[in-house]
Structure 1
Amino acid sequence: MSSMKKLIHSCHYAGSQFCNWVRPRAARLLRLCRDSISWLSRFLLFHVHPFWIQLGYYLAVSLAGYLVLKATARDGSELRHRDLDLFFTSVSATTASSMSTVEMEELSRAQLLVMIVLMLLSGEVFTSLLELQLLRLKLLKQSRLDEQADRRSGFVDCIELGIPSSAQKVDSNQHNEAKAVSVRNPNMSNKLKYDAATCLSQVVLGYILVFHVLGSGLITLYVYLDRDAKQVLERKGLRGDLFSLFTMVSTFASCGFVPLNEGMVAFRKSPGLLLILIPQVLAGNTLYAPCLHAALWALEKASAKRKELGDALRNGRDVGYFHLLGSVRCRYICLTALLFVTVQLVLFCGLEWRSGIMSGLTPYQKLVCSLFQVVNSRYAGESAFDLSMVSPAVLVLFLVMMWKVLSRDKKENQLMVSRHPLQEKIQYAS
């Protein structure tokens, strides 16, 4: 009995000595990792051009996606030996190009989940959120440098003028007035820019979560209630919740992947599902700027106490978030998108209403499928018809509508130039 107590005591003593030896070394290792990450973030923000950051991001995500897709393939599946096809699929999902050399039904459930993550990381809205986070870190560093410079200059002024330190405090009313003036001033301070970027990042994150959760829930509910859609998934052996999440993420990211070989052609007779997906296509692409503007405006009206919402709405582009546009430009974007969709819908229905691709559909199903097709032809790339059977005139129409002209205004170009690291060094030196 005494030998057992001695053994327990010796084990307890050895364990405590080991913990005492490990604890400081683990703390130093964590401190080293934290300092390394901080140094790397500062180096990327202040010394690397945004182009190289984006290129490194897409290469890293594509390579990681390829490795995970290869590791999660079914046992005995040929996909384990088709490295180039898996890498091509990973790159396609990461860049939202909707091209694949493998059939989607060959992918396992784990691989479908990997594809969901890749498409989520490639979406324009999500990448803009990452850009906001990097911008927040940069503005936080600059605002701290500004505070240190103001503190040093105020201390020097007090010494030269002989002003007591108590006189350094500014009246709160004057401070609020100065802050209000700086908000209206396009040359915002870095602190106000940081607050606006923080508010914008929270709203964009909520925007992503609301659309994905609500959209996935509606798709799951519709698949559960609609007999035709349920039969399609049962015949393919695909779970409804996995299909809903995959389709929602792919549609919102404008990726165009569907976990069925036929794509959305299998759901031509499910107009409710197509109507659920159409707003997701627009909200994640061209109408993102108007929707974000409307969300900020509604949140500002609903919560009057949070003034940073109004600051973010009015000064988002001064911060450098170019997806946030003014109300006039948002109206023009909505009208332009409505005009293009209407023109496509009229021409498509006029040319294909009585063709073979519409056979077996009711007039209501024809109209909804046509609307889904023309919306996706310009944005997401999903298809409700077999495009090989579409007339050449309609293909030319789709080709014209897929052509997008990218333009920036003068203010945006100036802000993009000012964010170039070399330009910042030149401005600092001058």
Structure 2
Amino acid sequence: MVGINRVVSTYNVAIPREDDTTAELVHYVGLSRKLTCYKWRSSTDYRKKRRKNWIKFFNHYTSFCETYQFSLFERLKMIRLSLFSIFFLFSFLSRTESRGVLSRRQRGGASSTFEINSRQALQQARLAQTRGVVGVARDGTLKVIPMTAEIEGFAVQFKVAGTDIDFEQAAQPGATIRAEKPATSVIAGEKGINLVLHGDGGQSFFDFPNRREQKGLLGVVALAPNDKMFWGGGGGNRRADGVLHSKLIDELITKILPQVVIMDPAKVFFMGISGGSFLLAGFFLPTFAEKYNSGAILGCGALPPQVRPSEKFGKALGTMRVHFQTSTQEQEGIQLTIPQAITSYIAAAKKAGVDNETLGKKLTADTTPKGQHCAFDGKGFVSGIQLLADNYDKIIFGDGDAKGIGKVSTSVLENNQRFASGVQLTQARERGTA
């Protein structure tokens, strides 16, 4: 260890170089701190510590110190920068630690809901109209038409899938459809729709997993109107715009879709993915279940009601088909919220007088898949969601024997399934309890 006294006495430091910015920046910040700590110590005192990484550090340091020198004022600025960096790092770690039960995808809040013709809305419209599944299928049998819905001053991107006979004249790529009043199809329709709400980040909007018609249901998918594409806005379990987004979805169905799709408004079904299931379970269904009274799959996510449920919400659970689908390796935080949602739904139905036999048929849950979050095929996020979408009719209308997954329609009242962690699927628990 040579030159340590000379180095400290002359206050030499290394300058970060453009050709090795990252590595040199580490030395730059570190050197200002080490000099401060040891400028009154002799090399003998330093040797007693015998920390190999510090010895290597100062050996590297001395190779830069013969040419460059900083003034005392500049050194003080560097020390201040180092202290600020340390403070910022610990503040960041503290914030993220407090949100440990959420995945990284869920941390951080989304922007406010996009207003029509705003720069952000126009950018999102271009993205929705060019990325992912859009246009005409290779065999010409299916068209996917992206459009913008203008609802109470807000912009919601959506896509519809079908053949020429399924669309109204207004259904044109890139068209803006304005919600002015409850709309009806020009031609009476017999087909319904299956509306998918994607997870955080919007992947399933672009993939459009429900684009193929099933049991007379045409595929529709809508994009969350904010910068992070979070349904309900906010982040994690705190969906600050959940009420607003639920209202936008309701008006998309009643005031927009009948202008572009020849549909039966009494046949509107739903499927949520992750964050989309948060919005459906926590906000939309408690508010609008009695209005649509159809069916919904809540995939890899759910929240207990975050709003005061409508007067007939509990009664609607005795006639509406609702299925919770998750997997054994589900995210830790969602292993809490799905059981909480199931427990809340059961309580609401029983309070409304729904008998166990009826409730057991209408409200089901499953955690058979061995995969991680949304990987219902045990392989991946995208392929798992596609598998669930492909089995929509079997789960909602059939016996629940989902190809590639198994028999999933197990009554929430007779369900003893558990996550791999040991948490019971249909039994709510408090955070931190086994």
TM-score by length of 1: 0.21
More strand by share: 2
Larger RCO (CA within 8 A; separation ≥ 6): 1
TM-score by length of 2: 0.21
